[in-house]
Amino acid sequence: MAESISTLRVNSDRMLDMFNKLALIGATGDGGVSRVTFSGAHLAARKWFREQIERSGLDFSMDGAGNYSATLTCDCSNAQTLLLGSHLDSVPNGGRFDGALGVIAALEVLRTVKENGIMLKVNLEAIDFTDEEGTLVGLLGSAALAGHLHLDGLKNPRGGRENLEAGMARAGLTDESMLAAARPKGSLAGYLELHIEQGNRLERNGINVGVVSAIVGIRSYRLSFIGRADHAGSTLMTDRADASLGASAFTLAAREIVMKDFPNCVVNVGKMEFTPGAFNIVPALVNVALEFRAPSDEEFDQVGSALLVCAEMEAQRFGLALKKEFLGSHSPSLASEKIKTAFVDACNGLGLTHIPLISGAGHDGQSLVDMCPIGMIFVPSVDGASHAPREFTKWEDCVNGANVLLQAVIKLGTE
């Protein structure tokens, strides 16, 4: 039995057929998909997912956060659940691999375990989490499941309350159902996710699998550099309090600081908004959208202080005031040693090369890290493309990832 289990593989053709059918739902015609949370295409993908679950003889369920699940119950009483999954929503005009691959692979693992009659000590659940990408809230389904959701967050979502309300109505959900989706603390044995790498470290180094050691923490601020609106023709250059200067100097300095002192961290100024924003008026106010990421709590605090001190200094240098508005934070999340070991053993058993990787992107595992052990694996993404129609992973790599997931699940589920 041990021998036959270690040679067990997912059904590559069946999985490819599922993957291709899913990629048609919300297809944008350029290889990508657009399935933003609770859009018609997103709900159609979920309907299709439910049909696949039911046809496979697995149990379907939907919770109050709209998470769709396939469950394969074990015979043990009071068994914990080993959760596998990802998400079927996409960014607008995104790719067909991000999220979708993880959901399809999770379902394929359950089908393979079921049809081979593998007896595990845990229930298996393949989950499609709601709104991982954050069109509405971000990591919404996993936060709800973990009990991290609060009414405040639902009332002021980043995608706008009106959009969230309309979306929830289309999906048959409410604030109340969302808040009621929290599961009991000890119910999960772990959370495992397969995802494409959003970067090119695996491809560049010719490695099959990345075993995620941590998901970076993400913190965001709105920095407001505040000067004075003046006539851009008649005000002497030396008499201006030009908000664009503080914002520009900060943008350049932030990059220098991170590259020089924080090699594991990244920083992004994704947007500036100018007020009043006219050709002929000196900018009175520039709002800067700042986001930075770090893999450990220590680096997170250090890089955060360094950036905010820098913003103060640049504001002062140009005679500006500075307002710092904290917008939100996810702490860095460490992967469980046990799950990492299971992934590494699976790679070795399958003859696949692997390296540890830090995930620079956020994932649903972050929501669950306080609730159960988490772990993720990445497979190579061509050119490191992600969140774009050109996103592509060779099918062989997708199948490798699914087999690593399968073997890790069997190991963790039989211990």
Count residues binding its own copies (CB under 8 A).
56
Q: Does 319 bind its own copies (CB under 8 A)?
A: no
Report the nearest approach of its own copies to the CB of residue 351 (Å): 27
Residue with Cβ nearer its own copies (116 or 329) = 329
Work out how close the CB of 86 gets to its own copies at its nearest, in angstroms, rounded to a whole number: 16
User: Which residues in 255-294 contact its own copies (CB under 8 A)?
Assistant: 255, 258-259, 266-272, 274, 277-283, 289-291, 293
332 near its own copies, judged by CB under 8 A: no
Give the span between the Cα atoms of 314 and 376, in whole angstroms.
Answer: 40
The answer to the question of residue 311 lying near its own copies (CB under 8 A) is no
Residues 200 and 379: their CA atoms lie apart, in Å, by 10
Beta pairing class for 374-379 and 188-196: parallel
Integer Cα distance of 335 and 316 in angstroms: 41
Pick one of 4, 77, 78, 238: the residue that binds its own copies (CB under 8 A).
238
| Spatial separation of the C-alpha atoms in residues 180 and 64, rounded to whole Å | 6
Scanning 160-168, 240-248, 366-374, 406-414 for contacts with its own copies by CB under 8 A, the matching segment is 240-248
Relative to beta strand 123-128, strand 68-72 is antiparallel
**Among 1, 77, 236, 351, contact with its own copies (rule: CB under 8 A):** 236
DSSP 189: E
Q: Is 361 a binder of its own copies (CB under 8 A)?
A: yes
Q: What is the C-alpha separation between 113 and 405, in angstroms, rounded?
A: 12
Query: Is residue 87 within the footprint of its own copies (CB under 8 A)?
Result: no
- What would the x/- binding string for its own copies be over residues 186 to 225, using CB under 8 A? -----------xxxx---------------x-x-x-----
Q: Is the peptide bond before 295 cis (omega within 30 degrees of 0)?
A: no
- In the complex, the smallest distance separating the C-beta of residue 108 from its own copies, rounded to whole angstroms, is 25
Half-sphere exposure of 319 (CA within 13 A, CB side): 9
The sign of the CA dihedral 126, 150, 136, 275 is negative
Q: How far apart are CA 342 and CA 215, in angstroms?
A: 18
Burial of 32: CB neighbours in 10 Å, binned 0-12, 13-18, 19+ = buried
Q: Is 48 in the site for its own copies (CB under 8 A)?
A: no
Residue in 248, 336, 366, 367 binding its own copies, rule: CB under 8 A: 248
Q: Tell me the CB-side half-sphere exposure of residue 262, using CA atoms within 13 A.
A: 24
157 binds its own copies per the rule CB under 8 A: no
**According to the binding rule CB under 8 A, does residue 242 interact with its own copies?**
yes
Where along the sequence are the contacts to its own copies (CB under 8 A)? 197-200, 216, 218, 220, 229, 231-239, 242, 244-245, 247-249, 251-252, 255, 258-259, 266-272, 274, 277-283, 289-291, 293, 327, 359-362, 384, 386-388
